[in-house]
Amino acid sequence: MHVPLTFLGTLHHAGRCFTLRAKALLALDRPDEALSEIRHVVRAAESLNDQPTIDFGRERIVLRARALDAAERGIRANKWPTSHLEELAKLFDATNHLADWKFAYSTDRCFVNYYLDTTVAAAPAAFGKELGNMLNTGKPMTILLCASPRGWIRRTQVELNRDLDRYLDDIDSIRGLIDPHFGAAQSAPNHSSRLDDLNLSKRLAKNLSPGLYMYGSMGIFALDTRARQFAILCALARYRKTHGELPESLADLVPTYISAVPHDIMDGQPMRYRRLENGSCLLWSIGSNRIDDGGSKGDPNRSRMNAPDWVTDLPPILDDPAK
């Protein structure tokens, strides 16, 4: 079920404009104005807080990712003074992305169940039409679906809610951890016969809830990891301004530059770190494969969430205009 939310498009494009302005202002060595633009993007995301359904949740993700992109660019180019780094760290630490995502899915469940309840109670013609829309069938099949057993809808509701309960239980938003078995029920291979293609309950469940098949969730997990890494980047940049080099270990940042080293939500271990000989460093999470690949980004053409590790970096300083 899709509800037109045209105003999200306006907010989406406004966020893009603010982000582009922030990047341009950083290139012109105007960090105060750039920070103001980033604040606008973050406020746009916050304006959608407590708004239900996945549509709002996805737009919050996009806006926060764009704000992070501009802020990270300023760190890599050594454009932010210390006071800005401190503010940026607090700005992106204020959101519990995992709790926000669980809220989006939980509220979406209400809309889906209402839609299914309404469909079951509909007259035969309307029932067949709605069932045909769910299954993406043609008109001849839609006519036949008018006489379909309504138990298909109820069975779909049971499967959807059962899977969603397991899905949400695997995301611990309080401790910031993803269960090792996350998504096992949704991603398990199907070894049953081709007759399963005729199982309309399964087809309905898949069409109504594509987000349960992992892709959207890995995006939010990668964003949450990126925000945790950003807090470390801010601390590293401040440490380097003071000491002239990066620390040997992230433990050296505590407690002066950061209260504690953020952990990797995929296994609960401290974020991985390596200082390189050229004055740069790598930060990484073990990513969706839950294997430590040593900070490997893999194919540069693949998206961040599909990389072997979820990696960010801090390049060496070329000059130091931001004191």
DSSP result, 275-302: E-TTS-EEEEE-TTTT---SS----TTS
Contacts of 315 (CB under 8 A, 6+ apart): 76, 280
Residues 73 and 167 occupy one common structural domain: no
The reply to whether 222 falls in a domain is no
Domain that holds residue 89: 1-95
| Domain contains 309 | yes
Residues 206 and 108 in one domain: yes
Tokens linked to 218: 């890995």
pLDDT one-digit tens code per residue, 48-60: 998 888 888 889 9
Does 41 lie in the same domain as 134? no
Would 226 be classed as within a structural domain?
no
Q: Do 203 and 238 sit in the same domain of this protein?
A: no
Q: Mark whether 133 and 166 lie in a shared domain.
A: yes
Which of 95, 121, 153 is the last residue in one of the domains?
95
In a domain, 225, yes or no: no
User: Do the beta carbons of residue 18 and residue 26 sit within 8 Å?
Assistant: no
Give the rounded percent of residues in the chain with a pLDDT score beyond 70.
85
**What does the alpha-carbon distance between residue 65 and residue 86 come to, in Å, rounded to a whole number?**
19
Assess whether 69 and 20 both reside in one domain: yes
Give the SS3 label for residue 177: strand
Q: Which one, of 77, 66, 65, lies nearest residue 30 by Cα?
A: 77
pLDDT by residue (tens digit) across 157-207?
888 888 888 888 999 999 999 999 886 654 444 444 443 444 566 666 666
Half-sphere exposure of 233 (CA within 13 A, CB side): 33
Residue matched to tokens 């611990």? 172
The answer to whether 316 touches 280, Cβ cutoff 8 Å, is yes
With respect to residue 62, please indicate whether it lies within any of the assigned structural domains.
yes
Q: What is the mean pLDDT of the chain?
A: 85
Note the pLDDT tens digit of each residue in 57-109: 889 999 999 999 999 999 999 999 999 999 999 999 989 999 999 998 888 88
Question: Are 68 and 159 in a shared domain?
Answer: no
Give the end of a domain, one of 184, 213, 242: 213
Global pTM value: 0.85
Question: Considering its fold, how many domains does the chain have in total?
Answer: 3
